[in-house]
Structure 1
Amino acid sequence: MTSPPSWHVAGPPPRDELAAWTTIEPADAELGAVPPLSRPAPPGRIELVHGGGVNVRRHPGPVNAVPAVYVHGLGGASTDWTRLAAVLAPHATGYSLDLPGSGRSDPPPAGRYSPAVDARVVARTIEQVADGPIHLVGNSYGGIVATRVAAGWPHLVRTLTVLAPAVPDLRPTADRGADPRLGALLVPGTAALAYRRLASIPPMARARSMGELCFGRPEAVTERDYALAAREHAWRARLPWVFEATVGSLRGLMNDYLRPGVQSFAALAGRVQVPTLVVWGTRDRLVDVRLSRRAAAAYPDSRLLVLAGCGHVPQMEEPEATARGMIAHWRDAAAERPGPAGVKIDPGAPPQLISTPMATS
């Protein structure tokens, strides 16, 4: 019997029939070999970004191809992209980074966790290591961060791909993935309780609960995979800011949900001017696949890839199917909009927000 997850999530039931919502034809292209989940990630290198260390892993690929930058979700790390980056290796050099306070990266200055802060870090990191425009890819919370980057620094992004982005779910339904108790984190004084709750979960229990929550087919995760994940959780638990990072990022995301107007998800997505691919699993227990069409409609130029049987992390669970959709997306974008040469920016400059009508979702 597996241990309960750190946050109870009932989640929506499987909806494999919604794979028919797909609007992109996957590419028939050469792919790299799919490594096991337990394969060690490439070594990282610390980049100094906004006064803090950001861990970046380089996944080798073609020298002359447009590179890809990968942004993980809440509680994740740069290692979440090892499988997808390997499969896409014939088509792009990849850079996966640890967001502030995650993985091997330092916490943000003054403990300011938010999608806006993380977007500035990602934009600066792209400038330093990949010299955009690049293919930007984000999963869950990372999809929200990537959307902010594409909206605010459009000259750094050639295409955008968001995998199960953590969009707001305000529908009056009892089977949404978000636990209603998470809203209590916005109440002052509740963070310490959340820290103690997270600290009480042993590393192996945490690894197993994440497998149960994030994979559409948890039985595909092996004992070796869980052992590797548990070792990583044990290492991370020794960092003084680890639980602050988790709770702080959750609070930042929920505060964003409450922002109306130009800072709302729909408004930010509506300012994205590059072609966008939205990827979703039909068995996502955290962000309901029924939101996928509305989320895709928020971007002015978007396609949708819905993967039957897949959960919340397509890059780990279905790397080949995800890669084929992304390659088709990249090729279509290159054919329709030949990209300009990379443009240097002042790393300290504010986001360049462009005025376009907001798409309705």
Structure 2
Amino acid sequence: MKWSRKISDGIAYHYKGNDTASDNINSKAIPIVFIHGVGLRAESWYRQLPAFSENYQCYSIDMPGHGESALLPNPTLSLTDFAAVLKTFIDKVIGQPVIVVGHSLGAMTALQTAVTYPEMVTGVAALNAIYERPDCAAQNVQARAESLLDNLDQEVSKQPIARWFDGDEQYQDDAELCRTWLDNGNRLGYARAYQMFAHLRGISADDLQNIRVPAVFLTGEMDINSKPEMSLAMAEILPNAHAVIVPKARHMTQMTHASSVNAALATFFTQCDSYDTSDA
């Protein structure tokens, strides 16, 4: 599976949408930007874009150093670097505020963008995000990140595929897609992004409460790193948020449990459509 791409300032993106679909015939359909997690690429949203492109402008991007997007010049990355890239993309390609949907590191990027550039975001959906990650979990991820930087040629897909899919045969095709993306991606881009993600504990409560637009926190019931209690805790902090826990799902919820995710997103997008920005 490979989607067609356009490139803007080194960021590759796939677009699918109805440019005229809107209740207001004088305006275009609301834009939505989908952001993948570490080691993945735009195609990880292949079950979302067809579901929403009839009524929305849907952009799925390759994050820096992933897919067909260029590496950022700085070797040590921060979440604000990724948020700045997203802001530039929105400014130059879309030209109006957007709903941002992110998965894993993409979810953290979406939240950071809503914190740092609130004028750019009309809603934020954070799938499988982390919050107050405990020391033991952080140390394990950091050790893995250092190993990746020390040896870019090592095998990279075995551990995450086992964690994300647990050998479940019904998700074999999705597991193979993710394995292909991990194995064939830019190893340096993956290692640098993973290092940045490894040192994240989450967005602080003080920052989260400044997100006034509608927000949804969605994760899998069986996700061992982006735990349900993390999403529930973040939803309690934001003034206009709720949480959705998908039963029997793990980390790749948008792929393995697309119908549940799409139903939750459809409800959320409708909420964003009707949101009064004067309340922000």
TM bucket normalised to smaller: 0.7 to 0.9
Q: Distance in 1 between matches of 2:253 and 2:184?
A: 25
Q: Distance in 1 between matches of 2:177 and 2:128?
A: 24
Query: 1:193-220: CA deviations, max 9, x gaps?
Result: 4345562217xxx2x5433322377322
Q: CA deviation at 1:234?
A: 4.4
Question: Quick check: 1:62–1:89 contact (8 Å CA) kept in 2?
Answer: no
Cα 1:249–1:230 shift into 2, 3 Å: closer
User: Greater CA deviation, 309-318 or 162-171?
Assistant: 162-171
Look up the match of 1:235.
Answer: 184
Look up the match of 1:11.
Answer: none
Look up the match of 1:257.
Answer: 201
Which of the numbers 67, 71, 91 marks the counterpart of 2:35?
A: 71
Q: Distance in 2 between matches of 1:97 and 1:77?
A: 7
What percent identity do the matched residue pairs reach?
19
Structure 2 unaligned spans of 5+:
21-27
Look up the match of 2:25.
Answer: none
Look up the match of 2:233.
Answer: 294
1:57 matches 2:7? no
Matched AA of 2:57: T
Let me know the Cα RMSD of the aligned residues.
2.8
1:91 matches 2:55? yes
Query: 1:261-309: CA deviations, max 9, x gaps?
Result: xxx5322211111010111110112212222211212222101111101
1:129 matches 2:118? no
Query: 1:119-173: CA deviations, max 9, x gaps?
Result: 00001101122222211111111111111111121221111100011323238xx
Question: Quick check: 1:113–1:245 contact (8 Å CA) kept in 2?
Answer: no
Matched AA of 1:330: F
Look up the match of 1:15.
Answer: none
The higher radius of gyration belongs to 1
Question: Quick check: 2:13–2:61 contact (8 Å CA) kept in 1?
Answer: yes
TM (norm. structure 1) is 0.68
Query: 1:94-135: CA deviations, max 9, x gaps?
Result: 111111111211111132322110000001101122222211
Look up the match of 1:344.
Answer: none
Residue 238 of structure 2 aligns to a residue whose secondary structure is coil
Look up the match of 1:220.
Answer: 170
Cα 1:135–1:314 shift into 2, 3 Å: same
Cα 1:136–1:225 shift into 2, 3 Å: closer
1:269 matches 2:208? yes
Question: Quick check: 1:83–1:319 contact (8 Å CA) kept in 2?
Answer: yes
Look up the match of 1:44.
Answer: 5
Look up the match of 2:262.
Answer: 323
Residue 59 of structure 1 aligns to a residue whose secondary structure is strand
Cα 1:41–1:274 shift into 2, 3 Å: farther
User: Greater CA deviation, 156-165 or 127-136?
Assistant: 127-136
Query: 5 Å matches for 1:111-130?
Result: 111-130=75-94
Residue 213 of structure 1 aligns to a residue whose secondary structure is helix
TM (norm. structure 2) is 0.85
Question: Quick check: 2:128–2:218 contact (8 Å CA) kept in 1?
Answer: yes
Cα 1:308–1:198 shift into 2, 3 Å: farther
Q: Distance in 2 between matches of 1:194 and 1:335?
A: 45
Query: 5 Å matches for 1:169-188?
Result: 169-170=133-134, 178=137, 180-184=139-143
Q: CA deviation at 1:56?
A: 0.8
Q: Distance in 2 between matches of 1:164 and 1:289?
A: 8
Q: CA deviation at 1:338?
A: 6.0
Q: Distance in 2 between matches of 1:291 and 1:318?
A: 19
> How many correspondences in the alignment?
273
Q: CA deviation at 1:61?
A: 3.4
